[in-house]
Amino acid sequence: MASDPNLIPVKLEYKVLGGETRYIEIEPWSPSVNISDEDMISIDLAPLSQCENLVSLSISSKILSELKLTPLSRCRRLVRLSITGGTFSRLSLAPLSKCKEFHELDLTSSRLARLSLTPLRKCPQFSKLNLSNNRLGTLNLSPLKSCKELTLLVLSGNLLSRLDLTPLSECANLEFLYLSNNRLTGLDLAPLRSCLNLQVLNLSDNQLSALDLTPLSSCQNLESLSLSKNRLTVLVLAPLMNSPNLELQLDGNQLTQLDLTPLVMIKGIDLRENPLRTLDVTPLFSMPLFSLLAIDDGVVLMAYRRFRWSRPPPGLQGLRTNIEWIERSTPAAAREVPDERRAETPATRTPEVDTTPRVVTGPVRRRASPEKFSCIKCGEPITTGGTLCSKCGGPQQRCMICRQFVGREELHFQCPHCKQLAHRIHLLDWLKTKDFCPYCRRKLHLTIG
């Protein structure tokens, strides 16, 4: 909007330590207002009711103790509000319910002990909420059910001992969730099943003694999972097999053992400051993108002898001389009774399974276009933006090696055990150096004529 010479600048009045009153002039047509004064203790926002074009408001002070947002109800175009460094324990967000385009709220380091998010129900475009470094002991997330566009939720550095994540099941676009440095003793991650776009989950510096990661099996885009500095004694990693770009931080826990076998493709793992004695790193040799293994010096690393002369991934190259090479890795319970002494009865005999991958041929031998591919079931054209076929409703599978979608027109294999798919050329390259499925890690035999 062009400035109007007839409009008189708005004067904002605020008080500082010592009782002095200061002023700041603001153009009424200005879309952005930034007020910063370390000594500010109170401010009157009433003049902002004339700023109908206000889009962003930022207030910063170390000792701000009094603030009323009522005048902002006239600022219908307000999109972003940032208040940092205050000392008030409560703040009413009710005026923001009039701002239909409002989508970002930052209340970092404001010492808030109580906050109601109810007004955000009337902000359908709301997408970012940062309440880090406050004193919140409880927080009701129910109003966020209406925030379908929520992508960022930061609650780090509070006093939360319990938190119900159920409302987040309606936030399918959630990408970043930070709950670090609280007092959480338990947390149900089930609502996160529907957060298919989740990329970062930070639960470090809490008091978690157990955590079920099963709901994260649907989060294939998960890139960072931090569980550092908790009290975890046991952790099952199987649900993370669908997250190929994952960086896993487990340092500072009480883990005495950890099975890496379920992991298919991760980038790094931090296991420092755990009472681990041994660790089987064999699964890591099958991860070409693995780049970091952080572990204490006293931990004995073990791996299959057949990988001794293979080229390890970058994350294991520096530790190669510290690996204890073993013939095979067998669970302790199975080693107690030799195989030849076991009586093979019909009830205990392992059924024979054809371990030859099923070859599925298509009409062409080229790779599908990265923008479009066809449904693996009915052949309906699908863009890579969706994961469900609009015609048959079937889910589209990714190649378990390259993690790209597998189209019906491409040559591909299907594992007889886990039924996962892989592009033909990728699995053939895989089986040149390995004899097991990259997904379920069961043995495969392939004869190429």
**Tokens in use for 6?**
């007839």
Q: Which of 195-204, 205-214, 262-271, 435-444 has the lowest mean pLDDT?
A: 435-444
Q: What's the CATH number where 372 sits?
A: 3.30.40.10
Residues 75, 160 within the same domain: no
pLDDT confidence tier of residue 415, bands split at 50, 70 and 90: confident
Selected residue with higher pLDDT from 111 and 366: 111
Amino acid 354: pLDDT: 46
Q: Any bridge partners for residue 274, and if so which?
A: none
* pLDDT > 70: percent of the chain: 81
Burial class (CB in 10 A: 0-12, 13-18, 19+), 262: middle
* pLDDT > 90: percent of the chain: 34
Residues 2, 84 within the same domain: yes
Residue 345, in any domain of the structure: no
Averaged pLDDT, 109-132: 91
Burial class (CB in 10 A: 0-12, 13-18, 19+), 369: exposed
Kindly tell me if the per-residue pLDDT of 281 is higher than 60.
yes
Amino acid 58: pLDDT: 92
Kindly tell me if the per-residue pLDDT of 303 is higher than 90.
no
Residues 145, 291 within the same domain: yes
Q: Which of 300, 332, 293 is nearest to 316 (CA)?
A: 293
Q: Which of 384, 88, 442 is nearest to 261 (CA)?
A: 442
Selected residue with higher pLDDT from 183 and 220: 183
Amino acid 369: pLDDT: 38
Kindly tell me if the per-residue pLDDT of 263 is higher than 50.
yes
Q: What's the CATH number where 15 sits?
A: 3.80.10.10
Residues 5, 49 within the same domain: yes
Q: Any bridge partners for residue 433, and if so which?
A: none
Averaged pLDDT, 35-41: 88
CB 109 within 8 Å of CB 133: yes
CB 439 within 8 Å of CB 400: yes
Residue 33, in any domain of the structure: yes
For the whole prediction, is pTM greater than 0.75? no
Domain that holds residue 305: 136-329
Residues 105, 168 within the same domain: no
Residue 339, in any domain of the structure: no
Residues 92, 184 within the same domain: no
Averaged pLDDT, 288-312: 79
Averaged pLDDT, 398-416: 79
Residues 108, 247 within the same domain: no
CB 166 within 8 Å of CB 191: yes
Q: Which one of 329, 344, 379 terminates a domain? A: 329
Selected residue with higher pLDDT from 280 and 242: 280
Amino acid 318: pLDDT: 67
Averaged pLDDT, 201-215: 94
Kindly tell me if the per-residue pLDDT of 290 is higher than 80.
yes
3-state class (DSSP) for residue 150: coil
Residues 168, 40 within the same domain: no
Residues 303, 366 within the same domain: no
CB 411 within 8 Å of CB 424: yes
Residues 157, 305 within the same domain: yes
Amino acid 355: pLDDT: 44
Highest mean pLDDT among 19-28, 173-182, 420-429: 173-182
Q: pLDDT digits over 63-97, tens only? A: 888 888 988 888 888 999 999 988 887 889 999 99
Beta-carbon contacts of 66 under 8 Å, excluding residues fewer than 6 positions away, are 41, 42, 43, 88
Averaged pLDDT, 166-170: 93
Amino acid 75: pLDDT: 87
Written as one letter, the residue type at 370 is P
How many domains does the chain contain in total? 3
Residue 348, in any domain of the structure: no
Amino acid 85: pLDDT: 85
∠ at Cα 169 (168, 173), nearest 5°?
A: 75
Residue 335, in any domain of the structure: no
Amino acid 371: pLDDT: 46
Residues 207, 65 within the same domain: no
Q: Which of 342, 321, 320, 338 is nearest to 330 (CA)?
A: 338
Q: Which of 375, 364, 426, 427 is nearest to 405 (CA)?
A: 375
The long-range contacts involving 54-59, CB below 8 angstroms and separated by at least 24 positions, are 54/30, 54/78, 55/31, 55/79, 55/80, 56/31, 56/32, 56/80, 56/81, 56/82, 57/32, 57/33, 57/81, 57/82, 58/32, 58/33, 58/34, 58/82, 58/83, 59/35, 59/83, 59/84
Averaged pLDDT, 376-400: 67
Q: Which of 269, 268, 307, 266 is nearest to 287 (CA)?
A: 266
If one counts every other C-beta atom within 10 angstroms of the C-beta of residue 108, the result is 18
Place of tokens 């409703």: 393
Residue 171, in any domain of the structure: yes
Residues 62, 195 within the same domain: no
For residue 128, give the H/E element and its range.
Answer: strand 128-130
**C-alpha distances in angstroms, 90 versus 48, 64, 110, 115?**
21, 12, 9, 6
Residue 262, in any domain of the structure: yes
CB 134 within 8 Å of CB 154: no
3-state class (DSSP) for residue 142: helix
Q: Which of 7, 43, 44 is nearest to 27 (CA)?
A: 7
Averaged pLDDT, 145-151: 92
Q: Which of 107-121, 328-342, 408-422 has the lowest mean pLDDT?
A: 328-342
Q: pLDDT digits over 171-203, tens only? A: 999 999 999 999 999 999 999 999 989 999 999
Give me the half-sphere count of Cα atoms (radius 13 Å) on the Cβ side of residue 239: 17
Kindly tell me if the per-residue pLDDT of 157 is higher than 80.
yes
pLDDT confidence tier of residue 216, bands split at 50, 70 and 90: very high
Residue 243, in any domain of the structure: yes
pLDDT confidence tier of residue 400, bands split at 50, 70 and 90: confident
DSSP conformation letters of 227-265: --SS--S----GGGGG-TTEEEE-TTS--S----TT---
